[in-house]
Structure 1
Amino acid sequence: MFKKTSLAAGVAAFATILFAGGCAFAEADKSGQVDYTAMTPHELAEYLIFEANDGGGFNLAQEMQEGGTARDRMQQDELQKACSIIGDGKPDEETMAAIRTAAQESIVYPEGGIQLGNWERGRELAWSGFGYRVGHNYDDHNVREVGGTCYNCHQFATDRTGGNVGPVLTGYGKMRGTSEPILKYVYDMIYNPHVYFPCTHMPRFGSSGFLDKESIADIMAYMFDPESPVNE
């Protein structure tokens, strides 16, 4: 997903901030009790997620639908580590540049160029949260397609109510048109938004493999097609 060498220099620049005190957990005493007060906030979070729950909470050994285990899913990748600055800080400029470069390298464009798909299917995908649950009761992708959960953060058409975490997208295609640079920008944003906004909270739908190119094209059609309710 992200080349290790691309972010290595930037990650090293603030590794001491992320992992101050190390990842070793406080040892239990003779009674088996763990002294939480002896842990740093980072150590406590690691302990509660990966250690404390193995005995009866989350089953971190369970296999995930996308492959691997629940424990694997909880592990940060390099980009997430690079963006996990304690407090209100941000990665330095070298790290931000490395993130942009790695994000650009991760983007794969469709053969024949970026095209709009079916806006009606795109509407269903944009308003669907169906995907990959943690648990034994997997989502059946043969019955229903993986959605983009775009509605959680964005408002699209006025016939339904979306979130307000991200920009309002109502009338997006009508206002911006469908020039090649605009289509590329939106494709990139859906595929891996870190190419423009390092450490953004928007998911990497394409580079993560969560949405395929056809689904991205359909969601884009929902945003741009003149017939779409987004552009009424």
Structure 2
Amino acid sequence: MSKKMISGRMVVGLVALSMPFAAVVAEEVDYTKMTPEELAEYLIFEAGGFKLDQEVQEGGTARQRMVQDELQKTCSSIDGTRPDMETLLKVSQQARETITYPEDGIKLGDWKRGRDLAWSGYGFRVGHRMDDHENNDVGGNCYNCHQIGTDRTGGTIGPSLVGFGRIRGTSDAIVKYTYDVIYNSHAAFPCTNMPRFGVTNYLDQQSIADIMAYLLDPDSPVNQ
């Protein structure tokens, strides 16, 4: 596969290497006239820019991973505009119905492990090498969107989490709220950009408990 940019156009060529002289079948596409969504669809599904048949760690293929569920379809349909109240309530209800709680109740875990998970983006990557989840913990990648501590720089897409537990306390209501947001963020923030870590089985119950401890435990550096 060969690709090159020409005056705002993408030329995709299939090269027959077995022929004496390479025969190129090219399709010229004016991607400047595409919306971001249309361009993404084209690059992934039509231009062959993504290996859709590769296996993914949760089972199935990369193509299957890209199939949206009902909640995602609802949020995608609003096209970047602010959802109306009916849509917000629908999404929030859908999200709440997916949340499952530990049989022995919600408890805080090990904030030190939670710190490592919050600053790690490891796990479920698609590529030529599969991640080894048996020997390495799957991270929450929290730092990518949030400022968490004062010793490192985090992202600004989401609100700052510095002093999260010190400011909010550790009441049962706050502990449940924190669990819900990590498990399925749309329960509290319909159509948010935050991943749904629990319902997608990206993070297990122990990892959620440990990240919660990092945010809420008074001894955590988050709350110093």
Specify the TM-score bucket, using the shorter chain as the normaliser: 0.7 to 0.9
- AA aligned opposite 1:203: P
1:123, 1:219 within 8 Å by CA — same for their partners in 2? yes
The alignment yields a C-alpha RMSD, in angstroms, of 2.0
- 1:71 is paired with a residue whose SS is helix
- Structure-2 residue corresponding to 1:49: 44
1:130, 1:145 within 8 Å by CA — same for their partners in 2? yes
Picking from 196, 199, 219, the partner of 2:211 is 219
- Structure-1 residue corresponding to 2:55: 63
Cα distance in 1 for residues equivalent to 2:29 and 2:142? 42
Query: TM-score when scaled to structure 2?
Result: 0.81
Moved more, 140-149 or 39-48: 39-48
Moved more, 80-89 or 69-78: 80-89
With over 3 angstroms needed to count, the CA separation of the structure-2 counterparts of 1:171 and 1:65, relative to structure 1, is same
Structure whose CA Rg is larger: 2
Unaligned runs of 5+ in 1: 1-30
Unaligned runs of 5+ in 2: 1-24
- Structure-2 residue corresponding to 1:100: 92
- AA aligned opposite 1:126: A
With over 3 angstroms needed to count, the CA separation of the structure-2 counterparts of 1:109 and 1:48, relative to structure 1, is same
Task: Please show how residues 23-42 of structure 1 align to structure 2 within 5 Å.
Answer: 33=27, 41=35
With over 3 angstroms needed to count, the CA separation of the structure-2 counterparts of 1:173 and 1:40, relative to structure 1, is closer
Cα distance in 1 for residues equivalent to 2:67 and 2:73? 9
2:118, 2:143 within 8 Å by CA — same for their partners in 1? yes
Aligned residues: 198
With over 3 angstroms needed to count, the CA separation of the structure-2 counterparts of 1:75 and 1:225, relative to structure 1, is same
1:36, 1:44 within 8 Å by CA — same for their partners in 2? no
Larger RCO, structure (CA 8 Å, separation 6 or more):
1
Task: Please show how residues 182-221 of structure 1 align to structure 2 within 5 Å.
Answer: 182-221=174-213
- AA aligned opposite 2:42: Y
- The alpha carbon displacement at 1:100 in A equals 0.9
Cα distance in 1 for residues equivalent to 2:167 and 2:190? 26
- AA aligned opposite 1:222: Y
1:85, 1:91 within 8 Å by CA — same for their partners in 2? no
- 2:97 is paired with a residue whose SS is helix
- The alpha carbon displacement at 1:165 in A equals 1.4
Moved more, 90-99 or 102-111: 90-99
Name whichever structure is richer in helix by fraction.
Answer: 1
The percent identity for this pair of structures is 62
- The alpha carbon displacement at 1:131 in A equals 0.7
1:114, 1:184 within 8 Å by CA — same for their partners in 2? yes
- AA aligned opposite 1:131: G
Name whichever structure is richer in strand by fraction.
Answer: 2
Cα distance in 2 for residues equivalent to 1:130 and 1:47? 28
With over 3 angstroms needed to count, the CA separation of the structure-2 counterparts of 1:174 and 1:91, relative to structure 1, is closer
